[in-house]
């Protein structure tokens, strides 16, 4: 435990050093820009992008796309990629991007606390999605992309694209075999997911991402409701928890790429198009990485024992989600519009039957 805590302290010191360096160089750059000769002012475009993901996860969910962008953009543009909380805390990502402190972000709306009407739907909106393919269909065929772009344009941010990540399951120290087993469990999860699951006795806990592993080991957390089993293995959470609940409250996480609107508008059209292409390639990568990984680790993984809540009992959670949707829809016209799209989509999927929906 002391070794783990020592490593965590080293990690935090490294993060703080990076932040101090970032703030210092940002200030120097601002001064230098005013004194620079025209030739320097026209040099390579440089952006800072921060992801919600830690280093191990970022290797899959964002780094391949940014590496590809930099390779193709060559001498024209470079995106410097930073990981979870490295420059600013995740909860401050939106504000930092909005005011131009950083140029671009990969995150869900919920955990970066964006002040928009669609924030509650980012991350895991309970039972809106059954599969990862539901996300691009909702955005590209049911109008959510247009709604997101309009909402973020109002606050000076460019919504570049949306994509799906993994489903939302619970991995815990103690087995979960019934709804009663969830009562009183301290769970690290997303704001909206926590708000919903608190109806079943879950105690949502908010912590910096890098503190989660130690918090489970010290008993500050009883478990994590943040991801599917692929992330549990990838980021090390499978090493500190013992059980994985096969029931989930969402079949996919909705995440996005965003940029400061002024910085986006400054880009030439071909670089904007390149950004769209590589973010789409990132979404595609996750489609197959998570889909295959979830199944493979359930079958061949050796670190987590699988448990399940019976379907008849879990149906109570699904039914409560519909009431939760109506509660959210009553909060604003825009939220009601999004909920209506989600209901319309799910009705089509249910009528379509297998393989779109089972049962």
CATH number of the structural domain spanning residue 221 = 3.40.190.170
Q: Does residue 304 lie within any of the structural domains?
A: yes
Whether cis (ω within 30° of 0) applies to the bond prior to 273 is: no
C-alpha span between 83 and 55 (Å, rounded): 6
The answer to whether the CB of 290 falls within 8 A of the CB of 230 is yes
Q: Which two tokens stand for residue 111?
A: 């955990």
- Convert the pLDDT of each residue in 217-267 to its tens digit: 999 999 999 999 999 999 999 999 999 999 999 999 999 999 999 999 999
Report if residue 106 sits inside a domain: no
Report whether pLDDT(30) > 60. no
Quote the number of domains for the chain.
2
Distance linking the first and last C-alpha atoms of the chain: 46
Contact assessment for residue 120 and residue 65, using Cβ atoms and an 8 Å cutoff: no
Is 233:114 a contact under the CB 8 Å cutoff? no
The verdict on residue 179 lying in a domain is yes
pLDDT at 15 over 70: no
The predicted structure's pLDDT at residue 180 = 98
Residue in the block written with tokens 């959210």 = 328
Residue 158 lies in a domain: no
H helix count then E strand count, the chain: 14, 11
Segment among 8-17, 78-87, 284-293 with least mean pLDDT: 8-17
In this prediction, residue 18 carries a pLDDT of 53
Is the pLDDT reported for residue 23 higher than 90? no
User: 344 lies in a domain?
Assistant: no
pLDDT value of position 210: 87
Average pLDDT, the chain: 91
Q: Are 94 and 152 in contact (CB under 8 A)?
A: no
Q: How far apart are the C-alpha atoms of 206 and 186, rounded to whole Å?
A: 10
pLDDT number for residue 282: 98
Which residues make beta-bridge pairs with 259? 104, 158
179 and 328 in a single domain? The answer is yes
**Cβ-contact 213, 240 below 8 angstroms:** yes
Structure tokens at 123: 């991350």
Q: For residue 266, what are the CA distances in angstroms to 45, 46, 143? A: 10, 12, 27
Residue 22 pLDDT > 80: no
* Average of per-residue pLDDT across 156-170: 98
* 177 lies in the same domain as 324: yes
Spatial contact of 69 and 275, defined as CB atoms under 8 Å apart: yes
The number of beta carbons lying within 10 Å of the beta carbon of residue 206 is 11
Dihedral (Cα; 126, 129, 130, 134), 10-degree rounding: -170
- Asked if pLDDT for residue 162 goes beyond 80, the answer is yes
114 has pLDDT over 50: yes
Instruction: Check if the beta carbon of residue 274 is closer than 8 Å to that of residue 73.
Output: yes
- Mean pLDDT for 91-99 is 96
**Residue 87 included in any domain:** no
> Does residue 5 lie within any of the structural domains?
yes
What's 252's DSSP letter?
-
Query: How far apart are the C-alpha atoms of 174 and 117, rounded to whole Å?
Result: 37
Please state whether the predicted TM-score (pTM) of the whole model is above 0.85. Answer: yes
pLDDT for residue 154: 97
Calculate Rg over the CA atoms of the chain: 21
**Residue matched to tokens 């990984």:** 293
Is the torsion defined by CA of 215, 221, 225, 228 positive or negative?
A: positive
| Whole-angstrom distance, CA of residue 143 vs CA of residue 300 | 39
Q: β-strand 254-260 against 243-245: which pairing, if any?
A: unpaired
- Would residue 138 count as lying in a domain? no
192 with 73: CB under 8 angstroms? no
When comparing pLDDT for 111 and 76, which is higher? 76
Give the pLDDT confidence of 301-351 residue by residue, as tens digits: 999 999 999 999 999 999 999 999 999 999 999 999 999 999 999 999 999
- In terms of phi and psi (left: phi > 0; alpha: psi -120 to 50; beta: otherwise), the region of 91 is alpha
Task: Classify the C-alpha dihedral 306-252-168-278 as positive or negative.
Answer: positive
Q: Which domain holds residue 25?
A: 1-43
What pLDDT, in 10s, does the model give residues 116-152?
A: 999 999 999 999 999 999 999 999 999 999 999 999 9
Confidence of residue 358 (pLDDT cuts 50, 70, 90): confident
């Amino acid at each position: 435990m002391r070794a783990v805590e020592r490593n965590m302290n080293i990690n935090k010191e490294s993060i703080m050093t990076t932040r101090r360096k970032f703030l210092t160089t940002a200030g120097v750059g601002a001064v230098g820009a005013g004194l620079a000769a025209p030739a320097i002012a026209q040099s390579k475009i440089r952006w800072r992008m921060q992801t919600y993901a830690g280093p191990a996860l970022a290797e899959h969910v964002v780094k391949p796309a940014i590496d590809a962008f930099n390779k193709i953009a060559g001498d024209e543009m470079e995106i410097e990629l930073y990981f979870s909380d490295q420059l600013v805390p995740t909860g401050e990502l939106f504000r930092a991007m909005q005011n131009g402190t950083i140029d671009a972000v990969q995150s869900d709306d919920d955990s970066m606390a964006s002040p928009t009407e669609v924030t509650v739907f980012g991350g895991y909106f309970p039972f809106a999605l059954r599969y990862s393919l539901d996300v691009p269909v909702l955005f590209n065929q049911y109008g959510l992309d247009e709604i997101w772009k309009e909402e973020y344009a109002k606050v000076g941010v460019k919504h570049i694209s949306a994509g799906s990540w993994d489903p939302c399951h619970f991995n815990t120290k103690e087995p979960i075999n019934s709804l009663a087993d969830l009562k009183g469990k301290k769970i690290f999860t997303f704001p909206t997911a926590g708000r919903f699951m608190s109806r079943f006795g879950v105690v949502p806990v908010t912590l910096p991402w890098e503190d989660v592993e130690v918090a489970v080991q010290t008993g500050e957390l009883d478990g994590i409701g943040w991801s599917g089993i692929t992330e549990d293995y990838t980021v090390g959470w499978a090493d500190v928890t013992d059980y994985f609940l096969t029931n989930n409250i969402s079949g996919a996480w909705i995440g996005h790429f965003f940029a400061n609107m002024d910085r986006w508008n400054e880009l030439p059209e071909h670089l904007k198009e390149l950004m769209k292409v590589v973010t789409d390639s990132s979404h595609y990568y996750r489609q197959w990485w998570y889909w295959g990984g979830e199944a493979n680790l359930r079958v061949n993984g050796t670190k987590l024992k699988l448990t399940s809540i019976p379907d008849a009992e879990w149906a109570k959670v699904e039914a409560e989600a519909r009431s939760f949707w109506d509660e959210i829809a009553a909060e604003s016209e825009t939220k009601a519009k999004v909920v209506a799209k989600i209901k319309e989509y799910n009705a089509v999927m249910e009528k379509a039957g297998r393989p779109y929906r089972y049962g």
